[in-house]
Amino acid sequence: MHWLAVAIGGALGAMGRYGVTAHLLPAGAGRIPLGTLTVNVVGSFLMGVFFVLIVERGLLSPEWRSVITAGMLGAFTTFSTFSLEAFLLWQHGHTQVALGYVVVSIVACLAAVALGIHLTSRLV
């Protein structure tokens, strides 16, 4: 039953990512893929929030950890897509944009997870 719950969480996360990257913020040629950047930053923030709620505070049962983190957020965020997009930007001669995308993604995602942990720890 737990495997099914993780799979459902993954399906929800994948649908959310598809909605953001394909419909809300589709990528343009030679530009930073804002959809992927957005889902990775938001997903990192939510990872920090749920880490506090599940692991540090125990407000959600441990069973929810894999459903939310591996399932929903694992499918919502997408390092493999980020990697391919950065590589394609570089390969098509947009070296500065690719480098900027990599730096902004890493810094923003680390900041987002830290912010999620910090805010949730203070609020809960």
pLDDT at position 102 is 97
Q: What is the pLDDT of residues 26-52, one digit of tens each?
A: 998 899 999 999 999 999 999 999 999
**DSSP class of 62:** T
pLDDT at position 61 is 85
Read off the pTM.
Answer: 0.87
Q: What is the pLDDT of residues 67-103, one digit of tens each?
A: 999 999 999 998 888 998 999 999 999 999 999 999 9
Whole-angstrom Cα distance, residue 10 to residue 81? 16
**12: amino acid identity, one letter:** L
Report, as an integer, the average pLDDT of 5-25.
Answer: 96
Q: Which run of H or of E encompasses 26?
A: none
Whole-angstrom Cα distance, residue 68 to residue 47? 8
